[in-house]
Structure 1
Amino acid sequence: MLTVRDLDVWFGHPPDRVDAVSAASFSVASGESFGLVGESGSGKSTILRAITGLIGTWSGTITVDGQPVTGQHRSKAFHKTVQMVFQDPYASLHPRHSVDRVLSETLHLQGMDQIDRRITALLDSVGLGRGFRFRYPHQLSGGQRQRVAIARALAAEPRLLLLDEPTSALDVSVQAEILNLLSDLRRERGLTYVMVSHDLAVVAHMCDRLAVMRAGRVIEEMPASALRAGTAVSDYARALIAASASYQPA
């Protein structure tokens, strides 16, 4: 479903150019859930933004469902295949747009018909009843806003969802609800996920495989079972896993 080869992403121009991602390569099979982990600034989210065209300064090869992606602008067909859920639901929804407007505009942009029926079905699919349809973001909790953001992503009926820290801005009590929702949607719709997270426990629970990043480079790929067992190969990945365990009692 997704292949990334020798991806370089940078900002600015010499002599002030900053290389955010260097020679990153990985692939994700259809129906798989793949994680990108690493410390802050390692380039995880930058890769997702390059895939979606939110960053135009990149080189290398990106292939989605067998189709090469070039430049910064993405086709309508691309956005029917790939959608992204952002980290902060407080920022990703327009404060003056109701839930109805958010979803109806997205459906219109995707050329969908039967808008009313689709909006009701989308709200049901993310665990929100039709009573939420005409509410505004300030009338919703953080978890409810993220459910709306997920519904907006699903409106295009994509096959690949890019999840950029989808629960990190939420209360701990709500995080599990959103993760369970994402797991259910993946199973019901046969979706492919690429999930960025700094929380290794979330990745171990949600993903089949993962790549560990450091300073813009992919330094190791491993199955989630290796992450849970703490059997990473590289010194850095082992240190990252150990750090996620916080501390060892005396």
Structure 2
Amino acid sequence: MLRVENLDVWFGFPPDRVDAVKSASFTVATGETFGLVGESGSGKSTILRAIAGLIPSWSGSIEVAGKAVTGSHRDRAFYKTAQMVFQDPYASLHPRHSVDAVLSETLRLQGMGDIDRRITKLLEDVGLGRGFRFRYPHQLSGGQRQRVAIARALAAEPRLLLLDEPTSALDVSVQAEILNLLSDLRQEHGLTYVMVSHDLSVVGHMCDRLAVMQHGRILEVMDVDALRRGEGQQDYTRHLIASSLGYQRA
């Protein structure tokens, strides 16, 4: 579903250029959930944004469903295949647009018909009743807003979802609900996920494989079973796993 080879992503121009991602390569099989993990600033979210066409300055090869993408332009066919869910549902929804307006606009942009029925179905799919249809973001909780953001991503009927820390801005009590929703949607719709997270417990619960990143580079790609056993090939990976377990008495 996704192939990334020798991806470089940078910001700015010499002498102030910052190389955010360096020679990153990985593949994601159809139906798989693939994680990108690492400390803040390691380049995880930058990779997703380059795939989604939100960053123009990159080189290398990106293929989605066998089709190469170039530059920062993405056509309608791309967005029918891949969609992104952002970290902060407070920022990703327009404050003056109702849920109905958000979903209607997305459906029209994708050339969809039968919009009324589709909106009802989308809200049901993400666990919101039709009573939420004409509410505004300020009338929703953080978890409800993220459900709307997921519904917006599903409106195009994509096969690949790029998930950028989809639960990190939410209360702990709500995080599990959203993760369970994403698991259910993956099965129901046959979706493929690429998930960025700094939380290894989330990755261990959701993902099949993961790439560990540091300073813009992918250090290793590993199975989630190795993560659960704490068996990284690289010292940094083992340190990351140990850190995620919290304080341990010497």
**TM-score of the aligned structures, taking structure 1 as reference length:** 0.99
Q: How does 1:50-199 map to 2 (within 5 A)?
A: 50-199=50-199
- 1:247 to partner: Cα distance: 1.2
Q: 1:249 & 1:127 partners in 2: Cα distance?
A: 42
Secondary structure, aligned partner of 1:238: helix
Q: How does 1:221-236 map to 2 (within 5 A)?
A: 221-236=221-236
Paired residue for 1:26?
Answer: 26
Q: How large is the RMSD of aligned CA atoms in angstroms?
A: 0.5
**Runs (4+) off by over 6 Å:** none
Q: 2:127 & 2:189 partners in 1: Cα distance?
A: 15
- 1:249 to partner: Cα distance: 3.3
Paired residue for 2:36?
Answer: 36
Q: 2:172 & 2:77 partners in 1: Cα distance?
A: 36
Q: 1:136 & 1:227 partners in 2: Cα distance?
A: 40
Q: 2:2 & 2:71 partners in 1: Cα distance?
A: 17
Amino acid at match of 1:236: Y
Amino acid at match of 1:105: E
Paired residue for 1:10?
Answer: 10
Secondary structure, aligned partner of 2:120: helix
Q: 2:131 & 2:204 partners in 1: Cα distance?
A: 35
Q: 2:107 & 2:155 partners in 1: Cα distance?
A: 6
Kindly provide the CA deviation profile for residues 155-203 of structure 1, in whole angstroms up to 9, marking residues without a partner as x. 0000000000000000000000000000000011100000000000000
Paired residue for 1:49?
Answer: 49
- 1:248 to partner: Cα distance: 1.1
Q: 2:72 & 2:54 partners in 1: Cα distance?
A: 7
**TM-score of the aligned structures, taking structure 2 as reference length:** 0.99
Secondary structure, aligned partner of 1:71: coil
Q: 1:249 & 1:113 partners in 2: Cα distance?
A: 60
Q: 2:166 & 2:35 partners in 1: Cα distance?
A: 12
Secondary structure, aligned partner of 2:9: strand
Q: 2:52 & 2:232 partners in 1: Cα distance?
A: 30
Q: How does 1:208-247 map to 2 (within 5 A)?
A: 208-247=208-247
- 1:116 to partner: Cα distance: 0.2
Q: 2:220 & 2:168 partners in 1: Cα distance?
A: 24
Q: 1:158 & 1:63 partners in 2: Cα distance?
A: 15
Q: 2:151 & 2:53 partners in 1: Cα distance?
A: 21
Kindly provide the CA deviation profile for residues 60-108 of structure 1, in whole angstroms up to 9, marking residues without a partner as x. 0000000001011001100000000000000000000000000000000
Amino acid at match of 1:152: R
Q: 1:231 & 1:119 partners in 2: Cα distance?
A: 45
Q: 1:227 & 1:115 partners in 2: Cα distance?
A: 43
Q: 2:246 & 2:40 partners in 1: Cα distance?
A: 17
Extract unaligned runs of 5+ from structure 1.
none
> Identity rate of aligned residues, in percent?
79
Secondary structure, aligned partner of 2:21: strand
